[in-house]
Chains A and B, each alone.
Chain A
Amino acid sequence: MIFRLAIASLFARALTVGMTVLAIALSVALFLGVEKVRTGAKASFADTISGTDLIVGARSGSVQLLLYSVFRIGNATNNVTWESYQDIAARPDVEWIVPISLGDSHRQFRVMGTSSAFFEHYKYRQGRSLAVADGVLMDDLFDTVIGADVAATLGYSVDDPIVVAHGLASFTEHKDQPFRVSGILEKTGTPVDRTVIVSMEAIEAIHVDWQSGAQMPGQSTPVEVIRQMDLTPKAVTAALVGVESPLQTFALQRAINEYRQEPLLAILPGVALQELWGIVGIAETALLAVSAMVVVTALIGMMATIFSSLNERRREMAIFRAMGARPATILSMLVFEAMVMAAVGALFGLLFLYLGLIIAQPILDSAFGMWLPIDAPTLREFWVIVAVVCAGAIVSLVPALRAYRMSVADGMMVKT
């Protein structure tokens, strides 16, 4: 009966109680949302590359190799010679190999030279393949396939001409050899969206008149002549490798790392991603800590609400005391009220989270390629709610103890 009266008392103060519950609900939704985005981002990150067993590049750090080969962040310190590439490709345990050649750019987007095998073997989000949204894959030497973001940002459509710039932030352009957009890829949520893809031969072709990073003055080989030339690449920046059997992955990695002719590095994408995530983890923890602080703030807000209600509830407490309630009963009533507010707040927070997810899921997927799964609440969420209710009880002890002292001092007489 006491607890029923406590709940009736909460309803009687619906406005302030509602605001408090709302604050708790929003903070809990934020906390759980950050948690969702965090795991979602991690999953999306891991989804950037799948189906590739090894990434091979010049010897550097594994995170660096992963960043420039998959995420197009940073630069390769060195290339892999075509001979080494051919050596690896010829190994019996290699099922497939895809060359990647980086170094040029178009506007703010990177240009990647590769072979048609890339479209066949590059997989993202648990084995999804790239698909052409508009047009076709490269057909001609000067054809290019562009990612969805490139097309959207620069307003390109199929058959538009584009000029590739040498280097990454350069005013020197390969004007003599303009490309034609042959196809636009579907949105993937991976760095492929921000990549201009050309063939390995095209990379060679635009560098025919270049030596040591500069165009040779006065020299300009006509396009017709270039087309007749031998455009076998001299080097690749990195290569994606698939093995015949997963059991051979480590043996192949070792063999590449111990390759005598050239210092090479082979990495397992999953392991390198873990390493990278370990670095990003600090920011992730900070974000979680901030949202936990928001929950704490909301609970302190609740404490302030209970505090400010104490004076106007003196009469109520005096009635309880006159009827024989102990000060301890008053204390436990206040703690119970706080726990009810915290629990209702946390449950509404969970509700807000799911509403938010339903609204945000398609937006986040198309804008950032981040897929947040909508699953049933896990044990983790359950513990978050339990923790909020417990924290609410602890926080409410401060005003409840004050009410305890007040009800001892006031007894059943209130002179107001």
Chain B
Amino acid sequence: MMGAVLELSDIGYRWPGRAAFSLTVPDLTVQRGESVLLLGESGSGKSTLLSLICGTILPDRGTVRIAGTEVSKLSARARDRFRAEQIGVIFQQFNLLPFGSVTDNILLPLRFAPQRRKRAGDGAAEAVKLCTALGLPKDIIQAKATTLSVGQQQRVAVARALIGQPPLIIADEPTSALDADSQTAFLDLLFAQTAKHQTALLMVSHDPRLGDRFDRVIRMEDIAVIERAAA
């Protein structure tokens, strides 16, 4: 089944407090099951774009549509719930709550997303299954998040993003804290899982060498315009 899982059209966003600083995104679309690499240097507005997609900030104009729902029309409360239901998020690093166990961390989004929880079925068993699929040792599941290596932590973050099969995964430079070998292994595992579950992946990076593994590579400067008006 094809169709857009993410559609941004005619987005305009002005940073609060910085009137002369704005971001416009005329069009960005990600199809269901598609993997897209978004290349951009720091300061190119990537973080703002991700916040707009996830609905923690609202655009001044334009629409953000995820899996057919117009996010910007939802209330703040509904957007938080919607994010939990539809999007798996992986950060650059420090993805996990240090005081929680691996299971706690993986099951966390299900706490806020009842439908996703239903899809996941037996959450704990699902967490174990995902951990195994991601090549994590079996006994790690009850370990404290802080006892894990950075590579292991990132894989737990992938498991957390995948659980309950949200249609879209947003990854913000998830490999930048890993060395080259781990990067490859990490991406292999990530792609294996997204392909298996038909999950769309939007990954942000500044590293163009990752490009050949994705369905599509887009550059921040091609899709977005940042205006810095002279003071």
Contacts and interface: CB of A to CB of B under 8 A. Distances in A.
A8 B104 contact: yes
Contact of B112 (A8, A316, A325): A325
Contact of B109 (A315, A323, A326, A415): A323
B5 interface: no
Contacts, number: 72
B184 interface: no
A40 interface: no
A411 B84 contact: no
B89 A412 contact: yes
Nearest to B157: A319
8 contacts: A2-B111, A5-B104, A8-B99, A319-B95, A321-B56, A324-B111, A325-B112, A411-B57
Interface in A290-314: none
A9 interface: yes
Given A1-B104, A411-B51, A324 B80 contact: yes
Contacts of B76: 326
B136 interface: no
Contacts of A325: 80, 112
Given A8-B99, A413-B50, A413-B56, 12 more contacts: A4-B104, A9-B97, A12-B99, A316-B97, A321-B56, A322-B89, A324-B84, A324-B85, A325-B80, A325-B112, A326-B80, A411-B56
Contacts of B95: 319
B104 A324 contact: no
A11 interface: yes
Interface of A: 1-2, 4-5, 8-9, 11-12, 315-316, 319-326, 329, 411-413, 415
Given A321-B56, A323-B84, A323-B89, A5 B97 contact: yes
B60 to A, nearest CB: 16
Contacts of B85: 324
Contacts of B96: 319
Given A8-B100, A412-B89, A324 B47 contact: no
Interface string B94-107: 11111110001001
A5 B144 CA distance: 12
B155 interface: no
Contacts of B97: 5, 9, 316, 319-320
B91 interface: yes
Contact of B111 (A1, A315, A322, A415): A1
Interface of B: 47, 50-51, 54, 56-57, 76-77, 80-81, 83-85, 89, 91, 94-100, 104, 107-109, 111-113, 160
From A9, A324, A329, residue with most partner B Cβ within 10 Å: A324
Nearest to A328: B77
From A323, A412, A413, residue with most partner B Cβ within 10 Å: A323
A322 B54 contact: yes
Given A413-B47, A413-B51, A322 B99 contact: no
Nearest to A10: B99
Contact of B100 (A5, A315, A329, A415): A5
A355 to B, nearest CB: 31
A1 B47 CA distance: 29
A85 B100 CA distance: 83
A11 B99 contact: yes
A411 B99 contact: no
Nearest to A416: B94
A77 to B, nearest CB: 73
Contacts of A4: 104
A203 to B, nearest CB: 78
Contacts of A323: 84, 89, 108-109, 111-112, 160
B131 to A, nearest CB: 18
Contacts of A324: 80-81, 83-85, 109, 111-113
B208 to A, nearest CB: 23
Contacts of A11: 99
Nearest to B52: A411
Contacts of A322: 54, 83, 89, 91
Nearest to A13: B99
B80 A5 contact: no
Identify the 3 closest CB pairs spanning chains A and B, nearest first. Answer: A324-B84, A411-B56, A324-B112
B126 to A, nearest CB: 15
